[in-house]
Chains A and B, each alone.
Chain A
Amino acid sequence: GAGVSQSPRYKVAKRGQDVALRCDPISGHVSLFWYQQALGQGPEFLTYFQNEAQLDKSGLPSDRFFAERPEGSVSTLKIQRTQQEDSAVYLCASSLDRVGEKLFFGSGTQLSVL
């Protein structure tokens, strides 16, 4: 497709369960970002890749959060031992090259931890 694709669209997890969220960026986009958006808040930065290199992971809230982009295209955000406070919409975005360029967002994965 032409846009950023995220799957699953919705995910319900039991507390303590591991989850994996997938992002397919726009073809050819070098930069890929993960953001977390809690209810009523703006997107909060989690991590950033340039091709396969993870250049900034300063926003990951704990070591339970892990992201990878092994071939510089598809990315996976993994959350281990999910907690209720992890419930949020996880947004993936890509941009053509520089970080400051406009981002193209996917529709997000809504994670609910029960």
Chain B
Amino acid sequence: DQQVKQNSPSLSVQEGRISILNCDYTNSMFDYFLWYKKYPAEGPTFLISISSIKDKNEDGRFTVFLNKSAKHLSLHIVPSQPGDSAVYFCAASVNYRDDKIIFGKGTRLHILP
């Protein structure tokens, strides 16, 4: 049973436009959420995180939105750039319990020129 779900395996967005990647979770105990970015032949790298006490966190071109009632989070990238083409993983943990981070299956983002 997948606790973190990324239902879109891939997404194509025009350069300069907004990219929106979605993630749903089932475990209501999750209190810390992260996005990781992965290029081929490299390990995932941390992008941005959000605690469950917030509903938005922004870092430059990247913003993560959290809707706890819907158990849904999204990553917005504005404006999208060619270097943003990668696989994006949504992840979550029960932070107060020092529990492991659970990853979704990922969404492959293609930025079109």
A residues lining the B interface (CB < 8 Å):
4, 33, 35, 40-45, 48, 56, 59, 91, 93, 98-100, 102-108
Cβ-defined contact, B42 with A102, below 8 A: no
Known: A4-B43, A102-B49. A42 touches B104 (CB 8 A): yes
Known: A42-B89, A45-B102, A107-B41. A100 touches B46 (CB 8 A): no
Checking A44, A91, A98 against B43 with a beta-carbon cut-off of 8 angstroms, the contacting residue is A91
In the assembled complex, B98 has its CB within 8 A of some CB on chain A: yes
B residues lining the A interface (CB < 8 Å):
4, 6, 32, 34, 36, 41-46, 49, 89, 93-95, 98-106
The DSSP consensus for interface residues of chain A is loop
Closest 4 A/B residue pairs (Cβ): A105-B43, A100-B95, A42-B103, A102-B46
